[in-house]
Structures are given as structure tokens and as C-alpha cells.
Amino acid sequence: MTIGIDITTLAYQGFGVTNYTYNLVKNLLMIDKTNEYHLFYSSFHKSKNSSYLEEFKKLGATVYQCNIPSPVLQFFWGKFEIFPVEWLIGKMDVFYFSDFLRPPLLKETRGVTTVHDLVWKIYPQFHEDWIVKAHIKKLEKTIKYQDTILVDSQSTKNDLTKYYPEIFDKEKIQVVYPGINKRFRPIKDNEKIKKVLTKYDISFPTPYLLYVGAIEPRKNLNKSIEVFAQLIKDEKYKYYKFIIAGKTGWKNDDVFLVVKRLKLEDKVKFTGFVEDEDLPYLYNAASLTVYLSTYEGFGLPPLESLACGTKVIAGDNSSLRETIDQEFLVDVIDKNKILEKMKYLLENEIKIELESIKKRFNWQESARQFLEIINSKR
């Protein structure tokens, strides 16, 4: 069987979909030596992630690299549904796309996609209009062509069947949990931790809270900062800092304004993008990872933190209820409850089931499930 995969998301650094695509494709190539893989990659600019393409070639894939700007693909594929992807990468049995653009396929090619979440449907105010419209159009086509749909959690499957009852065949929607990269583990080498943190101008062993992810509205960072401001009024926590590690996303001006309003410039640090290989060190050095998201289709950072042995405080909602133990969850609406829970987690030893996390969220298992679904003709 020939499997085509759109890996264009690898052109972008620091986003969950990039992480997902890289790990899924890498593990598919590692465990599957029977099928043939055609990987489609389109970017007008050279990406810092271009080393991934060479890695995939060494693992046996054929990479078709096209220098087509994203707006051109949006024009042909999104607006007019012309120019099948097979014209660029050859005939296939299956084509998998994980981003918000579904390319036209020849009649005999089966489409498979991942719907990572429905935040754009349930909370459209958290996104820019063009992103909402792109997701709506992609899902309409996915349903029209009866593509197989993978979702990252049962929570997202429930949302999908609720908001899109026209998907009559529920077997078309399959839950495949993403994995946690093996680099996320407890690290005891304090010298290496200190060296990595120095790159981002973070003092070690200064105690800090950590947020990892894009700076965008649904992550509730302004509320997280306000609760942090209350926390450090307590004598026990007055030396704590709050490290926010991630790229600026969208609609986030209020996050920076709240830091100024509360005069926390010397307490809250924005590192910008953090290299993937450095993240485990930031997690390991943190006292607590803060992830008060309103809604998640899966939510990798809390699980990455737990895999490193660092406790988390996360939103008691959506898929987080499915993937994170209740002891780490809190109502994100109530600031008093958040502060109370934060102190409880900082002051108490709580056992983290590391082996259970590794076993449950494993990329090789994700890849095996993907192949099983492809082969099942669902």
C-alpha cells in the first residue's frame, strides 16, 4: 500500500500540530517497513525544521518538496478544490492530512485526517476569523468525502458527534491518543539543567511556576498571572517567578498588559520559543506547571510535565479530565479555588505514576493504531 502524508506543518516551529505530525510520521516509518510512504512538504521559505526531511528520507520515505506558498495552496485547494495532490506526489491508496487544509484527491484515493479539537467551533472568539473559516471548510469537505477521522481524545469525539450529527457512521471517527516523546523524563543532572536554563536567562535553583504553549486566549494566562500575583504575597512564595515558555499566538495583548498593570515585570518572564530538546530541563526545574486552559483536544504540556516528574495544575474540563488525574485539576473560573489548589500542590508530595503515563501515551502505539485503522478500511 502507498500512504501519502502532508507534512507541511513541519515548516512551523513551536506548535502542537507540528509536534504531532513529526512524531506520528517518524514512528510510522520506524515500525512499518511494508508500506511505501510519499511525504508532501510545501514551504516557500527554508524552515529550521528542514532536518526532519532528511531524517524521514533516511527512514525510507520519499519526500516531495514543493516551494508553493501557502496562499497559493489555499487558493487552489481551499477555494476551488482543483489540482489533486497526486499530480505532485503520484498515485496513492491513502492520503493523510493533519492540518486545516484538505487537498483534492483522485476518486480512488481514501482520505484520512485528524481533528485535533473543536475549539474553533465551540469558542470561535478565541481564534481569528480566517482560522475558523478554514477549519469549517476543511471539516465540511471531510464529511462530504466520508474521510476517516482520527481524534486525539474521546472528549473530541463526543464534541464532533454533538456539533456534526450529519456524520452518521460513527465508526468513521476513531480515537488515537498522541504519545509523549521519550525525552520527557526526570533529569538529575543539575549542572546540565543550569546550563540549559541559562540559555533562557532563567536563574537556577530559583523556584518558579512554568507555562508551556502558545500565548493565546483559551489558555487563560491573564488569570494565571493574576493568581500568581496573589501567591507571591504569601511569605513562603515571595521569591517565586513565573516562566512563560512559548511563541506569541494571537489575541494576546491583555496578557502583557496584566503583567504591567500588576507591576510583575521582574517576576514574570517570557522566554519566547524554547527548543524541543530544552523543554525537559525547564519542566524538571519547575516547582509546578500551570495549564489553566478553557478547552483542550488533548493537551500535551501537562503530560510532558508529569512525565518529567513535575506536578501540574490544569483545567477541570474537556480532554484534560480524560488524561490527567483529578488531583491535578481545578475549576478555571474561580481564582480563589485556583490559588488554594496551587498552594496545595506546592506544599504536598503527590505520587506521579510515571510508568502508567509512558505506557498510556506512547507514539509507537499511536502509530500502530493508525496502521490498524488504515488497514481496516473504516
What domains can you pick out in the chain, each with its CATH number?
Answer: 2-179+362-376 (3.40.50.2000), 190-359 (3.40.50.2000)
* Residue 187: other Cβ atoms inside 10 A: 17
268-272 vs 312-315, strand pairing mode: unpaired
Pick from 10, 14, 21, 289: which is nearest to 178 by CA? 21
Supply the pLDDT for residue 343. Answer: 98
What's the CA gap between 231 and 233, in Å, rounded? 5
Which residue is listed with cell 503583567? 259
Query: In this predicted model, what pLDDT tens digit does every residue of 175-227 receive, in sequence order?
Result: 999 999 999 999 999 999 999 999 999 999 999 999 999 898 889 999 999 99
Query: In this predicted model, what pLDDT tens digit does every residue of 164-180 receive, in sequence order?
Result: 999 877 888 999 999 99
> Under a CB-based contact definition with an 8 Å cutoff, are residues 374 and 94 in contact?
yes
pLDDT at position 250 over 70: no
Helix axis angle for 335-347 and 221-231, nearest 10°, is 60
pTM greater than 0.85 (yes/no): yes
* Residue 79: other Cβ atoms inside 10 A: 9
Is 121 or 101 the better-scoring residue by pLDDT?
A: 121
